[in-house]
Amino acid sequence: MGQELKARKAAGDDVAYSLDLFSTASLLETPHAVAQLHEDYIKAGATVITTASYAVTRFYLDKIGEASRVKELNELCVALAKQAIAKTDSAASVSVAGCVPPLSESYRADLVPQDKQLREEYAEIIDSLMGSDIFLCETMSSMREAAVAVPMCVAKGKPTWASFTLKHDKKDRLCIPDGTDVEAVVKQTVAMGVEAVLFNCCAPELIAEALPKASAALNGSPSYIRLGGYGNAWEECDRDHWTIDQNESHVGANDHGAHGMVVRDLCEAHYVEQVQDWLRSGASIVGGCCGISPAHIQAIRDLQECTERQ
């Protein structure tokens, strides 16, 4: 959502975007742009849309003195998603996933707040997302973070999906940022009561590497547990030292320049090839994260329709 809004602003559309706030700037100034983007993803074939609330946390809103608006803005995110569904007459086929995000910098397991703060802030966020159909704890970087957020969502009685970001450690071992390997992530997360374990906000190739391990780790788990992934259109970055101030580019800046996130030439056909790998490895939930446009989602939908005709 954030990167697509950023791209639209750079193209001259009426979209507010802030380096400090991701898509939250649009919520504050141009909410119509958020609703329109949801609508575009639905028209492209999305059957689940995620609330634009990744940066609706005290960590981000404190930067502009608006931390007291967490509840209000999360509720707005749900309303905008539902508005788009209603406008496209898709109520029977499209679900809203309420985004339960990291509470500090993305990818930084070392910056995850203490458990007391996690519980307090997640309680506020989760309660304000009760209008959603699914809870999506996404871009989780540590099992400690997930061990607070996920059970709190499950306790509300809604389907809960947990999604983790991935990296290779110094020994080239695939893991989440806190060092937990994929197999342990899956087993521990399933035990928390989720309905799906996903991987997101990383290169599609890392998701392809993770899914066979995740599928093997599901052995003996309830049959309803699903796997999936939604990747980025970025090259992998130094996640151990990532901060939004140093690694995100201003609107219109050269994303290949110093400190900019390096955007890949990830065309729709290439992304669909990656998605096909995920599906062959047991994924049943697939989509896109940063930099994945409605055109990419349309390509995934076309793949699905082609497969169904065979």
Phi, psi of 249 (to 5 degrees): -95, 150
In 42-159 the beta strands, taken as DSSP E runs, fall at: 48-50, 95-100, 134-140
- Distance in angstroms (rounded) separating the CA atoms of residues 199 and 266: 18
User: Which of 214, 203, 216 is CA-nearest to residue 288?
Assistant: 203
- Is 237 labeled as ligand-binding? no
| Type of residue at 97 | A
Query: Containing H/E element for 164?
Result: strand 160-164
- Is 201 labeled as ligand-binding? yes
- Is 306 labeled as ligand-binding? no
> Contact, 121 vs 68, CB < 8 A?
no
- Distance in angstroms (rounded) separating the CA atoms of residues 139 and 61: 19
**3-class SS of residue 162:** strand
> Contact, 22 vs 2, CB < 8 A?
yes
Query: Containing H/E element for 74?
Result: helix 70-87
Q: Environment class of residue 271 by beta-carbon count within 10 Å: exposed (0-12), middle (13-18) or buried (19+)? A: buried
| Type of residue at 29 | E
Q: Which amino acids are annotated as binding site for Zn(2+), given as ranges?
A: 201, 289-290
Q: Which amino acids are annotated as binding site, given as ranges?
A: 201, 289-290
